Amino acid sequence: MNILEMHNIHTYMAGFHILEGVNLTAEHGKLTILLGRNGSGKTTTIKTIMGLTPARSGEILFQGRPIQKLHDFEIPWLGISLVPEGRDVFSQLTVEENLLIAVRKGKKVPKQRLDYIVDIFPPMKNLFKKKGRNLSGGEKQMVAVARALVNEDKLLLIDEPTKGLAPIMVESMRLALAEIKKNATIILVEQNFEFAGSIADDFLIMEHGKIVCSGEIGDLINNREMQHMYLGV
């Protein structure tokens, strides 16, 4: 079953045609990785799903329901969370407040979700009172992912979580994603093919605002030629 489908999506930004007819599907319960070179439209695809850069034409189905006409602030309520490329942890808020502001129902982060988050990111335990601006890059990334976990969402869109991280942080992020994957569908934008290949189920490759290739990750791992052609690996 597909949790998300995009049909012939066209998106423009500041007059530029960025997505030129994106078609993609992401299967329920799987981790789908979105690969492609810089500027191929990966981040715009994610933002278009979230309604932040609305599609000009085409259809987006979430669990079979068209969502491309919804306002950006309505989309998360369907059970979709975003971990943006720049992490975008609020620097004036504490980590605790960064999580709290993401809670959609209720007045605080449910205890069981907090436990779950600390379970996945043990170092978070000591960060709650720290302001966003005092966090290291790796800590910010943890908080950004944790913020997407407070609501028990069905679909997580995670944009380049390993960008600029030290190798040891990349490894702990890999373990964390492997854990998160058990309870949620993930679409992951990634440049680091080695990292992605080790946890993904399916893959999508973008080029010039289109999906040019997709399938199970095993096919890509075994196909050096394809890797070379699309990813320059």
Partner 1 sequence: MTSQLFVNILLSALSLGVIYFLLSSGFALVFSLLRVSNFSHGSLIMWGAYLGIYLVKALSSFSLGLIISAVMIGIILALVEFFLFRRLYGGNPLFELLLTFGLIYILDEAVKLVWGAAIITVDKPSFLQGTVMIYGEPFAILRLYIFGLGAFVCAGLYFLLNKTKLGLIITAGIENKEMVRALGININRVFTFVCWLGGFLAGIAGFVLAYFNGLSPEMGTNQLLNVLVIVVVGGLGSFMGAAIAAVIMGLAEAFIGFYLPELAVLSSFIVMFIVLSIKPSGLLGEE
- Interface ranges with partner 1 (CB under 8 A): 50, 52, 71-77, 82, 84, 88, 90-93, 97, 100-102, 104, 107, 147
With respect to partner 1, which residue has the nearer C-beta, 103 or 221? Answer: 103
With respect to partner 1, which residue has the nearer C-beta, 105 or 182? Answer: 105
Amino acid at 172: S
Radius of gyration over every alpha carbon of the chain, rounded to an integer in angstroms: 17
Q: Smallest distance, Å, CB 212 to partner 1?
A: 27
Q: Smallest distance, Å, CB 195 to partner 1?
A: 24
Phi, then psi, of 10 in degrees rounded to 5: -115, 130
With respect to partner 1, which residue has the nearer C-beta, 3 or 99? Answer: 99
Beta strands at 202-207 and 210-216: parallel, antiparallel or unpaired: antiparallel
Identify the burial level of 191 via C-beta atoms within 10 angstroms of its C-beta, where 0-12 means exposed, 13-18 middle and 19 or more buried.
Answer: middle
With respect to partner 1, which residue has the nearer C-beta, 99 or 196? Answer: 99
Q: Smallest distance, Å, CB 108 to partner 1?
A: 9
Contact 35, 188 (CB under 8 A): no
Q: Smallest distance, Å, CB 149 to partner 1?
A: 13
10 Å Cβ neighbour count for 66? 12
With respect to partner 1, which residue has the nearer C-beta, 66 or 73? Answer: 73
With respect to partner 1, which residue has the nearer C-beta, 153 or 190? Answer: 153
The whole-angstrom separation of Cα 48 and Cα 9 is 9
Q: Smallest distance, Å, CB 191 to partner 1?
A: 21
The whole-angstrom separation of Cα 154 and Cα 2 is 12
The whole-angstrom separation of Cα 147 and Cα 98 is 7
Q: Smallest distance, Å, CB 231 to partner 1?
A: 28
- Name the DSSP class of 107: S
Angle at CA of residue 105, ends 115 and 148, nearest 5° = 50
